Chain A
């Protein structure tokens, strides 16, 4: 009786675990770098994916009347806890129908969920930003100036 019961329980548990894992896999989104996204552009056009990159400060444009925000990001590598943009890469234009978030600034790390359109811009549904603020940064910039 007891081994049978244990075996049954284990089987049910495994079945549920498989269902959960499948549910997660079905809903999972690809998380790409910009160059990875471009390599697979044909395959993933108009499919919701997540990308990350460093914001280029000079490119940020916000049109208050339409509430449309646009900015460029490029791939970045992490060095000494900071995100350094890769030189020479063609930036990816992000289009976002939301006001400009406070943390959107040069070299902020942007994690963007959305779709790549045929014109090569990326239409964002969700924008997460991690900012290169001075809080807890690798070493005091301000102090070096003094």
Chain B
């Protein structure tokens, strides 16, 4: 049977990973290129094997093979075909297999080309990345095997097992349970793979960092840090997209008017993003000035540990959260693995302390280096806040024996000021020169932006806004945004003067010549836009809710919303769901009424979706929810979300900037070739 092929492929992939790790370690220790080459070939077999394993699950899902426990749990006959594909990652066991497959893709693309970097690193990168792969294959095989089948024992009660237990007969239920309704949204089809790609991608930078320590050669310094930065950026891009898509999904489906609730699972995906972002900044000091090597190593290890912890929290429901669909047996292996990584990495850093010595010193508090130190400091305090807040229930129970929880308001209150400071620094940091700059020079460069920001704050104050947080937020966002735009403008103007180019040509060449720098600026602009949306929604959201008879209205802000009645229907292609549609008329500031139709989806299996009807503009979103009609009353819940669209616009700008910064190009290859030269410069400077 087809499922047996998948199981065999999984076992072979496990064997390959196990052999690969062993061969790589042996080859690395005894300097045997033949063993290393063999380990590489083993690594390359894992992707095809896991592809087969995933495909057999998909085939089983498509064919309604409910004898397979996984298909039974996440599929039903009534489900549309596209969901039968995506239910590969819709349940626990399938998603662990899928996670491993994505990891194997990274490893495949890393090793499929001839190894161009430092030879000494290769066996250790192989060993560490395959070690992580092996961990996830162990989980798939022994703790969350998607190839388990259903059997009936002598009493006629069903059980699940990979191999037929004695005295049982195969069992094929007539229909499956179906995919959790919350996961049937297009956003949920792409959000998990993006987040997973971000998570597993962090394995590669970790593998390079550990390889640099295990290989123990200073000459490999520049090579590992370059590769690490590149792979971190790729993972960071996916992680950012995953987080942003998750926010948009929540906004479109969950029906609470927001996009981020400081839920433990959201937080645990944010944590590695925070430390990875800190690393992407501080790695520049190591590249340019040979400083902060130990610190960068710690950031990489921390990021990888937070990733594993995040996966653990998401997959095991250890902390109660809207995301934890299941409680499972994955806890112990995850904790052991995290402990192993932490202890092993810490031991390596201590052993190789000498290789990580700084080549330079901080010369002035007014320098680019100091700006990066402050940047890392803030990222770290934010990470600490989120971490402590997320695990507060656990810590408080351990320490004082009483469960205490942290609500979203507390997170906003504590993190708001820290993020504001970070955005301010984001504006002025890039203006500071390496080594030494001065407050006077900085003042001269940001005079205009500062004046305009003060003017904006004054106008907001006069228009009646008194909340300090909002005024400070808008002021800082204006200031940092203008400085960033001015930086780009200076570059463009210089080009236009020098080479007589048009504005557009000058801008595109400017970016093409220095993608990393200007990609970074575009990312910063994205953050500025997102800042507008965050301030608008957290400080100025309005909300009302009322049961209404047909013909009655509610008013919120400029909007008058009149309830017109409801209807319900069952979609033809999804017979297991009922849709309740509310009809409303919305008139803006007394203008002509527009029809809007918020609805609610309810699933036979229980649960449902509450998507809003949106009237979206650049200034605000009108967000209407229809929660159902009961005894003649239809209940409407209405939110006004000011500036929220800037959050989504900013997200897109951020992703565009990331693509600019990381897109492989001729220029990228040239940098790689120049790398050895930089080491010489660095050593001469000592």
Contacts and interface: CB of A to CB of B under 8 A. Distances in A.
Interface of A: 2, 5, 13, 16-17, 20-21, 23-25, 27-32, 50, 52, 62, 64-67, 81, 98-100, 102-103, 105, 111, 113, 128, 130-131, 133-136, 139-140, 142-144, 146
Contact of B627 (A28, A99, A131, A139): A99
A50 B396 CA distance: 14
Given A140-B158, A140-B177, A146-B174, A28 B605 contact: no
A5 B363 CA distance: 12
Contacts of B61: none
Given A30-B402, A130-B320, A134-B606, A24 B389 contact: yes
A12 to B, nearest CB: 8
A28 to B, nearest CB: 4
A105 B178 CA distance: 19
A57 B73 CA distance: 25
A91 B653 CA distance: 52
Nearest to B409: A27
Nearest to B69: A140
Contacts of A67: 545-547, 633, 635
A38 to B, nearest CB: 15
Nearest to A31: B403
Interface in B147-167: 150, 157-160
A97 to B, nearest CB: 8
A23 B413 contact: yes
B320 A28 contact: no
A20 B405 contact: no
A135 B325 contact: yes
B631 A64 contact: yes
B406 A24 contact: yes
Interface in B606-637: 606-608, 610, 627-628, 630-633, 635, 637
B648 interface: no
Contact of A142 (B173, B385, B389, B630): B173
Nearest to A50: B405
Nearest to B414: A23
B263 to A, nearest CB: 10
B404 A29 contact: yes
B361 interface: yes
A16 B388 contact: no
A64 B407 contact: no
Contacts of B385: 20, 23-24
B449 interface: no
A52 B405 CA distance: 12
Contact of A29 (B325, B405, B633): B405
B377 A13 contact: yes
Contacts of A100: 627-628, 630
Interface in B385-409: 385, 388-389, 392-393, 396, 402-407, 409
B547 A64 contact: yes
Contacts of B409: 27
Contacts of B455: none
Does more than half of chain A's interface fall in helix, strand or loop, or is it mixed?
Answer: mixed
A5 B362 CA distance: 10
Contacts of B380: 13
Interface string B590-613: 000000000010100111101000
Contacts of A27: 406-407, 409-410, 413-414
Contacts of B407: 27, 29, 113
A134 B633 contact: no
Given A20-B384, A65-B633, A142-B173, 20 more contacts: A5-B362, A17-B384, A20-B414, A23-B385, A24-B392, A28-B404, A50-B405, A62-B630, A65-B631, A66-B547, A67-B546, A67-B635, A100-B628, A102-B607, A111-B320, A133-B180, A136-B92, A139-B159, A140-B173, A143-B150
A146 B392 contact: no
Nearest to B610: A102
Interface string B175-212: 10110100000000000000000000000000000000
B171 interface: yes
13 contacts: A17-B384, A24-B388, A30-B403, A52-B320, A65-B631, A100-B630, A102-B600, A134-B177, A136-B180, A136-B326, A140-B177, A142-B175, A146-B174
A71 B302 CA distance: 45
Does more than half of chain B's interface fall in helix, strand or loop, or is it mixed?
Answer: mixed
A81 B404 contact: no
A143 B320 contact: no
A18 B166 CA distance: 59
A136 B635 contact: no
A80 to B, nearest CB: 10
Contacts of A65: 547, 631, 633
A13 B385 CA distance: 12
Contacts of B91: 136
A99 B628 contact: yes
A135 B180 contact: yes
B670 interface: no
Contacts of B354: none
Interface string B528-570: 0000000000000000011100000000000000000000000
B322 interface: yes
B217 interface: no
Given A2-B361, A20-B385, A99-B627, A144 B410 contact: no
A135 B605 contact: yes
Interface string B52-80: 00000000000000000000110000000
Nearest to B174: A146
B68 to A, nearest CB: 13
Contacts of B393: 31
Given A13-B377, A28-B392, A102-B608, A143 B171 contact: yes
Contacts of B404: 25, 28-31
A23 B410 CA distance: 8
A81 B325 CA distance: 11
A28 B406 contact: yes
A69 to B, nearest CB: 11
B405 A24 contact: no
A64 B633 contact: yes
B257 to A, nearest CB: 13
A81 B92 CA distance: 15
A103 B607 contact: yes
Nearest to A105: B606
Query: Nearest 9 pairs between A and B by C-beta?
Result: A27-B410, A31-B403, A133-B606, A64-B633, A28-B404, A64-B630, A99-B627, A102-B608, A136-B326
B158 A144 contact: yes
Nearest to A27: B410
Contacts of B406: 24, 27-29
Contacts of B326: 81, 136
Nearest to B261: A128
Interface in B308-360: 320, 322, 325-327
B607 A131 contact: yes
A55 to B, nearest CB: 13
A144 B159 CA distance: 10
A31 to B, nearest CB: 4
Residue from A13, A28, A52, A135 with most neighbouring chain B CB atoms (10 Å): A135
